[in-house]
Amino acid sequence: MRLPPQWLVAPALGAVMALGHAPLGWWWATLLAATALFSLMPPTPRGATRWLWLGGLGYFGLALVWIVQPFFINPAVHGWMAPFALAFMAGGMALFWAGAGLAARFGPVLVAVIFLALELLRGWVLTGFPWAMLGHVLIDTPLVQLASLGGAGLLSGIVLGVAALLGLAQTWRGRMLGSGVMIAVLAAAWVWGAARGPSDMAQTGPVVRLVQPNAPQTEKWDQARALFFFERMLDQTATPAQNPPALIVWPETSVPFLLDYPGAAFGIMADAASTHGPDTQIGFGVQRLDAGRYFNSLAILDTKGQVGQVYDKHHLVPFGEYIPFAEWIADSPVGGLAGQALQGYSPGPGPRALDLGPLGRALPLICYEAIFPRHSRIAPRPDWLLQVTNDAWFGTFSGPYQHLAQARLRAVEQGLPLLRSANTGVSAGFDGYGQPLGQLVLGEDGFIDIALPPALPPTPYARWGDVPIWALLVLLAVSLAAARRFR
């Protein structure tokens, strides 16, 4: 049986759109393919819905291909799940695109408006998954500075605006006019973005050392290898520096013991940190047990070996750190791939900043939490963002680089420096403009010392979040509906 062309063309166009994401960063391919996807979209709701779902299937199938990696950590047990996980995620995310096709009978502009609204809703529905938003393809361009005004929603609106004006115009004259408008707008935004941040920000703040032990997930919890990686982090911590660090950051779940049962480890860690002075602290990712429940946490250790502030991750990964709704049956969380033993993690109370003295107030983000813009907007405003993560789960191709790009986007949105320590990489730092302050290579062990820059004044996005974008979308939808009614 011969398949209709749309079953091949739409997924192919969606896959080309995905090439704009890290590590390739071919944003121009996304714009061209998105234009073609909208241009060839059938005019009927049924046809448009099917077409956009197929396009989304190709897009998310390639953009989220890294999602199979966790299942190959223990392939004998979980490997068979990998293709089903990718198909489920790609097909499920594509439903958000398909929803926009239902508005096809009301005109192509409304399709684009609803498309953007559904893109934003992806960050909320079923705990949310705003990975691979269309606007993320612009993170490595000067246009990323627009995120300080409207976040990832505004960047996605730019991509959709190009596709809508060029792909949905009914005449060649309309397409030429749309091309001229978009070229002018993009050129102005590009110049503004390129000029927004200084070429070199003064590096005069306190120094933070980011440690990258490069522990492969297959070896991370092996008893003999875990001790080796722990000693590697101790060596990286104690290495002398011209400008001694005030804080040394170890990645997510970096130590092979529970916070409550450290043995002599805290004293050994404190001795390593004290080589830099009596006030150097260590921030380290650790699992802890409290009242029979496990938490994925970040703890602060002083040079006396005393644990002070502790932050518990509050936005957990469904099926990775817990199984949704399983506690209704088991009366306790049930673990996913990354859960402690057979029991999953419990969520912490919510985002909160840690007072690190001369380093100011740092807002911790543990791994997955950094992909949600709302978790970086708290009051009172922190001085900087601190991410610890274990991207060994994401493989070595696209996952770690896409995660890094989203962390950079959070810095631009909030106008805050962001430093991240990643187990296998990429450990890096960004200032409030999203400009790199230094980074380590993926898949290598080492450390990097970064002088913490000051925070920028609160950005419009830091003040209002997605409210202006939602208000504009509602206004556009109402205006289009009214114009159609009185036509």
> Alpha-carbon torsion 232, 235, 239, 244, what sign?
positive
Question: Token pair 């001795």 is at which residue?
Answer: 271
Residue 336 has pLDDT above 50, yes or no: no
Lowest mean pLDDT among 2-16, 35-49, 263-277, 290-304: 2-16
Q: What's the mean pLDDT when you consider all of the chain?
A: 91
413 given a catalytic annotation: no
Cα–Cα distance list, 361 to 51, 416, 487 (Å): 48, 11, 56
Residue 368 near residue 337 (C-beta atoms within 8 A): no
Q: What is the pLDDT of residue 45?
A: 94
Question: Token pair 């002599």 is at which residue?
Answer: 264
Q: Is 386 left (phi over 0), alpha (psi -120 to 50) or beta?
A: beta
Cα–Cα distance list, 310 to 208, 252, 299, 355 (Å): 18, 13, 4, 11
- How large is the average pLDDT for residues 46-53? 96
367 given a catalytic annotation: yes
pLDDT one-digit tens code per residue, 405-454: 999 999 999 999 999 999 999 999 999 999 999 999 999 999 999 999 99
Rounded to a whole number of angstroms, the CA Rg of the chain reads 23
Greater confidence (320 vs 314) lies with: 314
CA distance 228 to 376: 34
Cβ neighbours for 136, distance < 8 A, ≥ 6 positions apart: 20, 21, 152, 155, 402, 405, 406, 409
CA distance 255 to 446: 16
- How large is the average pLDDT for residues 216-241? 94
Residue 263 has pLDDT above 80, yes or no: yes
Q: What is the pLDDT of residue 341?
A: 43
Residue 208 has pLDDT above 70, yes or no: yes
Residue 307 near residue 328 (C-beta atoms within 8 A): no
Q: What is the pLDDT of residue 167?
A: 60
Residue 342 has pLDDT above 50, yes or no: no
Q: What is the pLDDT of residue 156?
A: 97
pLDDT one-digit tens code per residue, 354-372: 999 999 999 999 999 999 9
Residue 169 has pLDDT above 80, yes or no: no
CA distance 288 to 293: 8
Q: How confident is the model at residue 63 (pLDDT cuts 50, 70, 90)?
A: very high
pLDDT one-digit tens code per residue, 110-155: 899 999 999 999 999 999 999 999 999 999 999 999 999 999 999 9
Lowest mean pLDDT among 229-243, 337-351, 447-461: 337-351
Greater confidence (176 vs 346) lies with: 346
Angle between helices 6-18 and 45-63 (to 10 degrees): 40
Reading the block at residue 468, the tokens are 């202006």
pLDDT one-digit tens code per residue, 10-37: 999 999 999 999 999 999 999 999 999 9
> Alpha-carbon torsion 394, 397, 399, 403, what sign?
positive
Catalytic residue among 252, 321, 369, 413: 252
Residue 162 near residue 179 (C-beta atoms within 8 A): no
Lowest mean pLDDT among 52-66, 202-216, 428-442: 202-216
What is the number of other CB atoms lying within 10 angstroms of the CB of residue 198? 10
Residue 312 has pLDDT above 80, yes or no: yes
Q: What is the pLDDT of residue 340?
A: 46
Cβ-based burial of 484 (10 A; exposed 0-12, middle 13-18, buried ≥19) = exposed
What is the number of other CB atoms lying within 10 angstroms of the CB of residue 180? 11
Quote the Cα angle for 54-60-62, to 5°. 105
Q: How far is Cα of residue 332 from the mean position of the Cα atoms in its chain?
A: 28
Nearest of 55, 59, 64 to residue 83 by alpha carbon? 64
CA distance 224 to 206: 36
Q: What is the pLDDT of residue 203?
A: 65
Cβ neighbours for 205, distance < 8 A, ≥ 6 positions apart: 451, 452, 453, 454
Catalytic residue among 119, 313, 321, 413: 313
pLDDT one-digit tens code per residue, 389-403: 999 999 999 999 999
Residue 284 near residue 258 (C-beta atoms within 8 A): no
Catalytic residue among 119, 220, 321, 367: 367
Strands 207-212 and 247-249: parallel
Residue 163 has pLDDT above 80, yes or no: yes
HEC readout, 100-118: HHCCHHHCHHHHHHHHHHH
441 phi/psi in degrees, rounded to 5: -75, 140
231 given a catalytic annotation: no
Cβ neighbours for 234, distance < 8 A, ≥ 6 positions apart: 268, 269, 272
Cβ-based burial of 160 (10 A; exposed 0-12, middle 13-18, buried ≥19) = buried
Nearest of 128, 215, 129 to residue 390 by alpha carbon? 215
CA distance 420 to 404: 9
Greater confidence (227 vs 109) lies with: 227
